[in-house]
Amino acid sequence: MERLTIIGAGNLGVSIAQGIIKAGLLKPDQVTLTRRSLDKLEPLRTSDFTVTTNNAEAVQQSSLVMICVQPKQALAVVKEIAPDLKEGKHVLISTVTGISTEEIASQLDGKQIPIVRAMPNTAIAIASSMTCICSHQATQQQVDAVIRLFNGLGKTLVVEERLMRASTVLAASGIAFFMRFLRASTQGGIQLGFDFEDAQAIAVQTAKGAALLLQEHGLHPEMEIDRVTTPEGCTIAGLNEMEHQGLSSAIIKGLVASFEKINNIRK
């Protein structure tokens, strides 16, 4: 990959740029970041990123163009850069929620530009994203190049396009959902006697351990739970009380509510 342009260097765009540098995939001088309020990118200019408001020029200078704007801005931005996209040179990646590859392709003046839709999460800033991708008009080689990029920034899963909205809920919004669980665990720990720092450190490391157990052993979560729940013990008492209060049901209903919202997102 020679150069990457990120159009819409906001929360996610900057996280991706930072992750790419941290993972050593590119050097800052190979990355161009654009947004309309350039002053917000000034701190990044000092770290050798090219920052500009000129989307057209940024596209001309890169072969990989990543669109990271809000859904209601996305199609206008694609239309704006379409004249500068060249068949055989550019690969377009979109992280935009709820906009299909077909909708993106409809703004390209009939040009056959490979499009990869990617749904990462903000853990991409520390190369720990879960990124789901699907593609349109892209060769396997082009898709593999995008997979290599996102594999350097965490884990990547190729999914059918119909699952991209569900991927957004589970992986991108999922960061917020797990954060809320960690906050609640920390608050509980404080009530049980720990100060905030220790309670959070215990909650975070325990969550990491639970996730790694599933990743390493590949078992169903209930099998790992079974190893911790002694008959008449404290774990099963806590677990059952959480379920009486609707823990699993609240999480599933939250995911479904989020999915219903994404299906009605305004473009």
Ligand X SMILES: NC(=O)c1ccc[n+]([C@@H]2O[C@H](COP(=O)([O-])OP(=O)(O)OC[C@H]3O[C@@H](n4cnc5c(N)ncnc54)[C@H](OP(=O)(O)O)[C@@H]3O)[C@@H](O)[C@H]2O)c1
32 touches 55 (CB < 8 A): no
Q: Minimum distance from CB of 121 to ligand X (Å)?
A: 5
Minimum Å gap between C-beta 91 and ligand X is: 18
The structure tokens 């404290």 sit at: 234
Q: Are 224 and 217 in contact (CB under 8 A)?
A: yes
Q: Which residues pair with 134 in a beta bridge?
A: 117
Q: For residues 174 and 267, what is the distance between their CA atoms, to the nearest angstrom? A: 22
What is the C-alpha to C-alpha distance for residues 155 and 142, in angstroms, rounded to an integer? 18
Q: Tokens at residue 121, please?
A: 């999460």
Among 5, 50, 121, 200, binds ligand X (CB under 6 A): 121
Q: How far is the CB of 13 from ligand X (least distance, A)?
A: 6
Asked if residue 25 lies in contact with residue 152, where contact means CB atoms within 8 angstroms, the answer is yes
Q: Is 153 in the site for ligand X (CB under 6 A)?
A: no
Q: Which of 17, 20, 172, 199 binds ligand X (CB under 6 A)?
A: 172
How far apart (Å, rounded) are the C-alpha atoms in residues 221 and 218?
A: 9
Scan residues 59-98 and list those touching ligand X (CB under 6 A).
68-71, 73, 77, 95-97
Interacting stretch for ligand X, rule CB under 6 A, among 117-125, 141-149, 155-163, 251-259?
A: 117-125
Number of shown-chain residues binding ligand X (CB under 6 A): 26
Q: At its nearest, how many Å lie between ligand X and the CB of residue 248?
A: 24
CA distance 225 to 229: 6
114 scored as a contact of ligand X (CB under 6 A): no
Residue selected from 1, 10, 111, 229 as contacting ligand X according to rule CB under 6 A: 10
Nearer to ligand X, 75 or 138 (CB): 75
Residue 34 found at the interface with ligand X (CB under 6 A):
yes
d(CA 103, CA 58) in angstroms, rounded, equals 22
Residues in the chain: 267
Shortest separation between residue 177's beta carbon and ligand X, angstroms: 12
Task: Among 33, 119, 147, 153, indicate the residue that binds ligand X (CB under 6 A).
Answer: 119
Q: Minimum distance between the CB of residue 1 and ligand X, rounded to whole angstroms?
A: 20
Give the residue from 244, 226, 222 showing the smallest Cα distance to 235. 226
The site for ligand X (CB under 6 A) is made up of: 7-13, 34-37, 55, 68-71, 73, 77, 95-97, 119-122, 172
